[in-house]
Chain A
Amino acid sequence: MDIFLQIIISGITLGAMYAVGTIALSLLWGTLGMMNLAHGAFIALGGYAAYFCMSVLGASWVFALPFALVAGVVAGYLMYHLVVRWMYERREFGVDIIIATVAIAALVENGILNVAGPEAKRQPFRVSGGLDVGNVVLPYQTLLTVFVAIVLMLVVGAIVSRTKLGQVIRAVSQQQKAAQLMGVDVKRSFARAMMLAGAIAAISGVLVTGATQLFPAVGFDATLKALVICIIAGLGHLRGAILMAFLLGLFEVAVQYIFGQRFGFPAMLALVIAVLIVRPYGLFGRETVERV
């Protein structure tokens, strides 16, 4: 019973972190049709921004998340204006941008390596201790992670469904030409979507590094998993991706408990392969016909 509860708690925590990552990826896939493999760079950036804010500047923990958020927004803005806007109109954008974002990820990772050094650091934005629930200890860090992740999802959900920015993001992702014909500045909406995705990734970076450690390549694992979840759910299907994030989080933790730590990720990938064989467009995705 305790083990079961432990699996549920760990699974949900992991799922919450995955969900935040998948939202950022789905957002960019939906609006720009771009696979952002620099997602991990944003995660690392967010983690280091919080670290810089608290450990280097000595600021209160209150400023850590806002500071990471601003770093993410700036990173998204720069990525759009320095890279994406120059490539978008090309026919091979979908492939080119994957390579470009891998390059960006490598640049950011090595930049951090040079500035902050290779050694793993402790994320200062974290809480210690825990809450006793029966025989299970519920770490405060876990509660914080789940809380921030849920708030983040609600905020993003509200932005997408209720604001003018959200209206534009949905319009552009559903029917870009028509959006233009209604007077929507599609390029500006791209920049904004990237800023939003950057902010989400950076905040998730603070959470991820709080749960583990801070090192330059910290975002790699999270990117890979977010990517896997997006694909398994069906690219661009946001609600499906969030659901899958939690299910896979639980699945991974359950496999780890039952078969051992090292089987978690391979089991997840095996599941993905199985899903893709049966439903190539993902569990929630719709079959699409691409005209060439």
Chain B
Amino acid sequence: MAGDALKLSAVTIGYGRRQVVHRVSLALPEGQVIGIIGPNGHGKTSLLMGISGLVPLWSGQIYLDGVAIDSVPAFERVGLGLVQIPQGDLVFPDMTVEENLMLGGYLAQGRAEIERRLAQVYDLFPRIAERRPQIARTLSGGERRMLGIGRGLMTEGRVMLIDEPSLGLAPKVIDQVYEVIAKLRMVSPSVLIVEENPNRLKEIADRIYLMDNGEFVWNGTPDELGKNSELLSTYLGA
């Protein structure tokens, strides 16, 4: 039996005095894609930031390949194979596309290894390859999003956290971004992806968790979600 690439056990996160994620547990089996959906402002992004270490946990444990990482600082988690593609891409605005990607390979050993990863990313995203010398701030929203994903790929993390890749993009561009995400599985086998809109996850997720008020209130396969119209209308207004 393949182990869990990522496991959360009773994770609690908050800011100041306000608790926003309440004892959340989840197991991401190796090679699977789990989608987390739910209304905005209900702790989805906080949960991902807690996993990647950008915000501290109040309590609970995070295991990467069975090893507890909750006391490991964020930058060291990357070296352990955990990569987050943050919401709103957060590219380095005044660097070129290639410089952005090179930073994704920051922990890679040696020029040859970086070149190999660059070639792989350019292979997956021909659009990005065309834009190599362009300054990142001048890219379109969709291109920036793809650059963010490509930069994440450069780390060659085994577990990838993706935060609302569709946010603020036109539907046509979202289609393109999701084509790219579908390709991700070739490189980064285990994916935890957050979205507001469940329709986007239907084709790629093995399992979907519904988050409401900082808790998982339901989980199941995309098919089960599709059939559960009551659930959809209650939480997602669909």
Contacts and interface: CB of A to CB of B under 8 A. Distances in A.
Contacts, number: 63
B75 A186 contact: yes
Given A177-B54, A177-B86, A178-B86, A183 B107 contact: yes
Interface in B99-131: 99, 102-104, 106-107
B94 interface: yes
B95 A185 contact: no
Interface stretch (A41-49, A76-84, A167-175): A167-175
Contacts of B102: 167
Given A182-B103, A182-B155, A183-B106, A170 B78 contact: no
B90 A177 contact: yes
A114 B90 CA distance: 49
A7 to B, nearest CB: 35
A174 B106 contact: no
Interface residues of B, number: 27
A135 to B, nearest CB: 46
Contact of B78 (A171, A177, A183, A186): A183
B92 A181 contact: no
Contacts of B86: 177-178, 181
Interface string B63-97: 00000000001111011000110100011111100
Nearest to B83: A181
B84 A181 contact: yes
A171 B151 CA distance: 13
B52 interface: yes
**Considering residues A167, A174, A177, A186, which has the most beta carbons from chain B within 10 angstroms of its beta carbon?**
A174
A180 B74 contact: yes
Interface of B: 52-54, 73-76, 78-79, 83-84, 86, 90-95, 99, 102-104, 106-107, 151-152, 155
Interface of A: 167-168, 170-171, 174-175, 177-186
